[in-house]
Amino acid sequence: MKLKKWIFVLCSFLASFFLVACQSSSSSSQSAVEAIKQKGKLVVATSPDYAPFEFQALVDGKNQVVGADIDMAQAIADELGVKLEVSSMSFDNVLTSLQTGKADLAIAGISATEERKEVFDFSIPYYENKISFLIRKTDLEKYKDLDSLASANIAAQKGTVPESMVKEQLPKAQLTSLTNMGEAVNELQSGKVDAVHMDEPVALSYATKNADLAVATVSLTMKEGEENAVAIKKGNSDLKEVVDKVIQKLKDDGTYQAYLEKAAKLTEVEQ
C-alpha cells in the first residue's frame, strides 16, 4: 500500500515536471515578438552594398546604412514599438545570423528560394525583380546573346542567386565569386571581369552612377516565385505575422515604391 502511494506521488511529480518543461519551452519559441519587446530593439542583419535596397550614404555628415529595405525595417520596428538596430555584414553571413540568434530578421534584397525556404521562414514578398548583367558600356554590342557570355569572365556575389544562376546556366564561363558587390564592380571597371551578375535594380543604380557601365540586354532564366522577402528564423510565426502585416500595408499604399524613389536620390551621396 505504502509503496503504491509512493509510486503515485513520484509519477505525478514527474508528470507535472514534464508539463512545466513543455510549457516553458513552447512559450519561449512562440514569443519572438515578446523577446524583441523585452530587449527594446529589433536587430536586422543586412549587407549594405546593394543600392537602392541597402547601401551606405553620407546623411547629416554621417556615414549611415540607408535604402528601401532599411526604411521597411524601420517601419517593422515602429510597428513593434522598439528601436531598430541595423547589423551590417557580408551577404554570405546574413542568413546564418538568424540561426545563431544574432539577428531577429534578415533584410537584404533576399530572394525567397525553395532551398532557403527549407531552412528559414519568409515573409510575403515585397518586391519582384529581375536579375541582370552589368557590363562595360563599350561591350553592349559584344554581349548581346548568351553565346557571347558563355566563356566570359563573370563576377557575382558569394552565396547569392545570381551566383548560382551563372554556375547552372553558364557552366563554361569563368566565375569570380566575391563577398563584396562594390569590389565586383571595381573589377568590371578595371577590366578584370567582363560582367557582374546581380539584381536588376542594383545594376541600373550602378549604371546610372557610372557613365562607363550599362545593363546588358541579354539575361539568364530566373526561377519563378523567387521574389524579395524578409527572412525569419523558422518557427517565429508571431514575428512573421507582424512583418507580413507591415509589408502588406507598405505595398498596398505605395510606400515601398516611395522608399525606392527616396533611396534612388540618396545614391547621389552613396559612399
- Give the binding site for ligand ARG (CB under 6 A): 47, 49-50, 54, 91, 108-111, 157, 160-161, 181, 199
Query: By the 8 A CB rule, do 227 and 128 touch?
Result: yes
CB half-sphere exposure, 52, CA atoms < 13 A: 25
Asked if residues 50 and 181 have their Cβ atoms less than 8 Å apart, the reply is yes
- Find the shortest distance in angstroms from Cβ 105 to ligand ARG: 14
Q: In what order do the strands lie in the sheet with 120-122?
A: 83-88, 41-46, 105-106, 231-233, 120-122
Residue closest to 113 by CA, chosen among 258, 234, 224 = 224
> CB 110 → ligand ARG: shortest distance, Å?
4
Cβ proximity to ligand ARG, 33 vs 270, nearer residue: 270
Identify which of residues 33 and 215 has a Cβ nearer to ligand ARG in the complex.
215
Name 197's bridge partners: 133, 156
The CA–CA distances, whole Å, from 166 to 116, 142, 213 equal 18, 18, 20
Q: How far is the CB of 54 from ligand ARG (least distance, A)?
A: 5
Q: Which is nearer to ligand ARG, 112 or 152 (CB)?
A: 112
Give the residue with the Cβ less far from ligand ARG, 91 or 143.
Answer: 91
Q: Output the smallest distance, CB 216 to ligand ARG, in A.
A: 17
Q: How far apart are CA 74 and CA 34, in angstroms?
A: 18
Q: Can you list the alpha helix ranges (DSSP code H) found in the chain?
A: 2-30, 32-39, 68-80, 91-94, 96-99, 114-119, 146-149, 161-169, 181-189, 200-209, 237-252, 255-266
Q: Which is nearer to ligand ARG, 33 or 47 (CB)?
A: 47
The minimum distance between CB 89 and ligand ARG, in angstroms, equals 10
Q: Which is nearer to ligand ARG, 33 or 154 (CB)?
A: 154
**Closest distance of CB 113 from ligand ARG, Å:** 7
Element (H, E) at 175: strand 174-178
Nearer to ligand ARG, 91 or 206 (CB): 91
CB 8 → ligand ARG: shortest distance, Å? 58
**Among candidates 14, 95, 69, 53, which has minimal Cα distance to 200?**
53
Which grid coordinates are listed for 7?
509510486
- Smallest Cα–Cα separation from 250: which of 97, 71, 22? 71
